[in-house]
Structure 1
């Protein structure tokens, strides 16, 4: 009998403790550290399109990241915002990075971007080569990727840099408007605005694609790459998803979206041919060296910067 009582008490105690354990609230799963917001500056060009897709398709959000995209119409406005601390990073170019270093602003190139820059002649100009623009007005933005590509085009065509009359028009939309109104003979424009010009009668003279150069890059402040490393890694994962989307998705499923969100002219819709986007990669040494040589030759910088001083490839390895 005693043995039966002991067994019953043991059973009751087991049930009591089991019930208590069942009612005990489990410790919540440890939360992942929340990512900080990042702000990226965009230009009205095709380099910016993967960022627009990543934002609008929710790829940044999938990575737990909030990204603020800010649009700029000129390189000067973009660089001022980056240097004043209003941006963490920006679609930019190798020249801007060298200028930032020379000016004491701590930034680094984190990857290439996929851009295209074209010199186009006005519809009323009879132009078959760069030689036909000798002594004529060509609109550029000074000391930028646009002037660099322009000089490479003139050199390749057998003209010195001063063989054309460079007219400085910093804002890209204004440059396009001047060309289309016949106020200048030619202009160097990024895509997709070069496409708009060609659609409206302008003629292609030469391009960065035909020259085989790609000086467009993504730049971040050193403060951002130090304090927001996880955020930038997440951004690049979302960027890769956007590249995959653009590679497989029919054009009609996104063209209206990028025209609207990119602030592109509506008449670019049917004519725009996007570049073949590739996943983020570090720039090649020869492209960086070519830009630095151009800047030194024109005495725009005083120091020969090494590749490692300008490029931080940790995010694309």
Structure 2
């Protein structure tokens, strides 16, 4: 009977750490952690991961993290759904699309990314309303188009007021804007700052609208079976945030440009945000994205905050 009781207690202990957000938060890194593979985009949301890797913060947690760079959200999401990634720097739209397509992903924290609408240097445009009928580059059905539509709504314009030019790859979008082939483009950082540094004009962006749909996500499988690994990752991530906020930028900017795949111009142009330690997204940032997707007929389901967000911090 005593052996049976011990077995039951062992099973219950395992069950506690298996579920989303129900595991005990360990203070110390456990031994024998499984590797994590995480997809990154060429934006400032990825910088804490680069720092945590290069400064050895992941290794000090006993965790191996493989960072995989992507140039477009489509390529990142394909890798995620094909099982090549455990998690990714992503956004609420990608989360909703994955869930709608039957692929389970969980949001585990928000990010500090910024998305900006930038007018071309030779466009003569100085206000959002002047973009009516003009070519504006976005990536279709992504956070970029979402932010663009929110900007138009704020300016009392509709989504059809502009001619959306679909350019999925971020570096290509920046290049075409700088070459005068577009009136404007919506870009993440650091590409937005590079464009402004090279003569383009900032119009407005997600910070000005008070929206932040950027997230870090993990597959449902990783959330269920790599609970301790994700917690160790976030401990290292938070150390990287402290480092970034307390260290002069010139001490690490070369590393960030090299490892992040940023253009050399980012060295002078890049202005990093004040990073926040890992925390869950605001409920409004989740529900507003879901509402936009439903209004555009891109998803049929109405997902709640609890459907998509998982507390593994």
Length-normalised TM-score, structure 2:
0.90
Q: Which residue of 2 aligns with 1:103?
A: 101
Query: Quick one: distance in 2 between partners of 1:114 and 1:157?
Result: 24
Residue 252 of structure 1 and its aligned partner are, at CA, apart by 1.1
Residue 184 of structure 1 and its aligned partner are, at CA, apart by 1.0
Q: Which residue of 2 aligns with 1:123?
A: 121
Name which of 150, 154, 159 aligns with 2:152: 154
Residue 190 of structure 1 and its aligned partner are, at CA, apart by 0.3
Name which of 43, 52, 55 aligns with 2:53: 55
Query: Quick one: distance in 2 between partners of 1:188 and 1:218?
Result: 21
Name which of 201, 206, 209 aligns with 2:207: 209
Residue 314 of structure 1 and its aligned partner are, at CA, apart by 2.7
Q: Which residue of 1 aligns with 2:170?
A: 172
Residue 166 of structure 1 and its aligned partner are, at CA, apart by 0.3
Q: In terms of mean alpha carbon deviation, does 186-195 or 121-130 score higher?
A: 121-130
Q: In terms of mean alpha carbon deviation, does 154-163 or 36-45 score higher?
A: 154-163
Residue 262 of structure 1 and its aligned partner are, at CA, apart by 0.4
Residue 271 of structure 1 and its aligned partner are, at CA, apart by 1.6
Structural mapping, 1:75-94, within 5 Å: 75-94=73-92
Gaps of 5+ in 1: 1-31
Length-normalised TM-score, structure 1:
0.89
Query: Quick one: distance in 1 between partners of 2:248 and 2:72?
Result: 31
Structural mapping, 1:195-274, within 5 Å: 195-274=193-272
Query: Quick one: distance in 2 between partners of 1:111 and 1:197?
Result: 29
Structural mapping, 1:294-305, within 5 Å: 294-305=292-303
RMSD (Å), alpha carbons? 1.0
Q: Which residue of 1 aligns with 2:69?
A: 71
Secondary structure class of the residue paired with 2:203: strand
Secondary structure class of the residue paired with 2:268: coil
Query: Quick one: distance in 1 between partners of 2:33 and 2:294?
Result: 40
Contact 1:107–1:219 (CA under 8 A) maintained in structure 2: yes
Residue 114 of structure 1 and its aligned partner are, at CA, apart by 1.0
Deviations 1:4-55 (A, max 9, x none): xxxxxxxxxxxxxxxxxxxxxxxxxxxx631110000000000000000000
Query: Quick one: distance in 2 between partners of 1:45 and 1:86?
Result: 21
Residue 310 of structure 1 and its aligned partner are, at CA, apart by 0.4
Residue 112 of structure 1 and its aligned partner are, at CA, apart by 0.3
Query: Quick one: distance in 2 between partners of 1:61 and 1:287?
Result: 33
Query: Quick one: distance in 2 between partners of 1:268 and 1:69?
Result: 21
Contact 1:126–1:132 (CA under 8 A) maintained in structure 2: no
Name which of 284, 287, 300 aligns with 2:285: 287
Q: Which structure has the larger Rg over C-alpha atoms?
A: 1
